[in-house]
Structure 1
Amino acid sequence: MTDAALEVTQSEAEQFTQQYLESLGCSIDMRGKQWLVTVPEEADTIVEPGTLTLVPSADEEDSDEDKQFLHPESAFFQELIEEAADRAPIGSMTLTADDVEIRVPDWATESSAEVVDTSFTPYYDRTALTILFHISIETVSEYQTQLLRAISLDVRSNEPLPGITRAFLDQTKKGSDRFHEWNGELSADRIRNLLNSAGGKIREQIRLTIDEIHDDASRAADAELEEYRRLQEQRIAELEEKIESLTDTIDELSATLQQTGDEAERMEALRQRKELKQERTELQTELSELNRQRETGFPEKQREIRDRHALKVRLKPVSITLVKYETGDLVLSLATDTEEGSITVGYGSGVGETESVTCEFCDRELTAKNPVQFTGNYLGCSKCKSTFGNSSSS
């Protein structure tokens, strides 16, 4: 299991590698700037059994064949990512109230009253599917941008659960013992549907990144095409100048033929004129073709350049985890110097609120801009407090 963030940094590459190798039964002895990895015979991996020295660094000046370098662009890391993606292991974990810190709703934290206590009572379990995707975006101008991105979907509603994703990533940092083998409670078809849905949502999430890289690639393609146009204009000018020079020389040879009576001189002039006319014809053909392409905007070259700068986006799941989380009631106890009370909200471990809460007096939804407030001895909303306060003062 792995951490995820917008881009694959050195620390994330190291964390992925450590957790993935440990999940295969490998042991890692970290000795300063090197990892001594022991790979058991039974480990199902492309890494050869035995002892391997990993160097977590992008500085590959040391050419020692017994060492493998570990960084986001290293061959070793790319091979592990590909292996994990092909395998896409399915695991499971459980999030309880003890695992995840209670997230107090913003409509309570923005209140003038203080939240003095919270009490969560779970009633039943729900399940989410958390998928970690490895994303590579490749172009000629930006050879490869790598992303690791996790997403969690409720298995019933397909709704994204960002809180579960955050909790999942937090748990992965605590070690692989948080995870267990999949018990097969979801069908392969259902998992496939969730994967397809998650992949679409991930693409939407990284749309801005893709668009930015696409814009960069388009600018690079435009610059390359403009440079190509400039070179062709230069070539056209050179051809026109060369053709004009050849024409002048041919005319001079024609004049020589008319003026000379020497047979040897005439034969040499005829030979030269024939060769020059043939060369001029070839240059005129090239010039005609270049002018034709220029008039149409060099379509073949445009197509070739655009194709080379086109984006290739690959999205592969490298881990799939069924996450069980508790849902129930969260009781918030609030107090001021003179008042105290409580309010109950539907809540899920790692999810936060599972339902909106409205004011008992006016049915307005409680929000950060309309937080819960004491109105007399009762809990209402800010708007009701303002209204009742005005009424009591009149």
Structure 2
Amino acid sequence: MDYKEGAYKVRDLSLAEAGRKRIEWAESRMPVLMHLRERYSKTQPFKGYKIAGCLHVTKETAVLIETFKACGAEVAWSGCNPLSTQDDIAAALAVAGVEIYAWHGQTVEEFYWSIERTLDRPPHLTLDDGADLIFTVHHKRPDLAQHIIGGSEETTTGVKRLRAMAADGKLLYPVFAVNDAETKWDFDNVYGTGQSTIDGILRATSVLLAGKNFVVAGYGHCGRGVAMRARGMGANVIVTEVKPTAALKAVLDGFRVMPMDEAAEIGDIFVTATGMKDVIRSRHFRKMKDGAIVCNTGHYDVELNLKELAELAVRVREVRPNNKEYLLENGRRIYVLADGRLVNLAAAEGHPSEVMDMSFANQFMAHLMLVEKHKAGEKLPPQVIDLPEELDQEIARIKLETMGIRIDTLTDEQRAYATDYTAGT
């Protein structure tokens, strides 16, 4: 392990060259973020501000980090999941002078140790994916909150928990809900999660998806993306849900819908995408076919109750990378991918660069707004705040332009008509 106190702790600095090549590849696929880097590196809006970040250490995240640095920010970073850090990327960032504490395969203790190191020198801004950094500030270092201008949160699970904290009056500083920007949730969550989850399953198993009964637990944006891509690979998709409107959408989108207790008996591959604990547990594992494949693409590793599965097993062994075989007393074998953590990041590379381009443009702009308001002397309330609609549209417009796609614009007369409440039939 390569470690320099106060600077970095990563797996192996010799991986840096390979990581740098992958970062450069991501840069070539992230034109919106590179546009922002070029534009704001001239004015250095983040000079004098420190950002503490806790987000998956991937090549796309590296582009975001280096964009912040190019625009004047001081950055300290940790991974937001013990299995999602890509060691070559962490090494490349450390060599480039980024303060980073991240390596693949961390223990829970190492994971939180890394987060706390990013807070050793108090930050002005926090950037989160899952809100573990924000929770660490609130629960272990509340003294830092008075110096923090604000933060941002990347994922659905984190935003829900932060809104609950704000409703209880416990949130100590404002947080932008980046996840709730349309150019994030309707692209990253759907197209990113869909493709990268299938990628992770294939890397860990190399199975044929065509003709398989593919069970997706949860039909939110992430689950919808997974179901869409699984059907595209020829799978017979079954959806399980607890929310009536989500279940109805799945039915009208052409998928079979049933309770997990029924799906467990016929499924070949199971993916959880709910953000809820114990979605698949002992009674479901007992019903599964010999050879069933089970994985999770939600943020936390609580959706599969692997403790109960281990109690059913007479033997557990790793049969290939990120793929463990649980042999049950009844002789059936169940294969769990990536230890129940995000299969798209633990067993693959995470979302494609092209879709993270928009998500991370939102992150950059959220922090730019926080800094600009701070410089103007404007203090935001300690709430979870949505990004402006016009920012969503601007990011989408830039993305379309980089793709060579043009769209129509409303005339002045049409804009007036849109809000003319006197117009009739």
Q: TM-score scaled to structure 2, two decimals?
A: 0.20
Higher strand share: 1
- Larger RCO: Structure 1 or Structure 2 (Cα < 8 Å, ≥ 6 residues apart)? 1
Q: Which structure would you say has the larger Rg?
A: 1
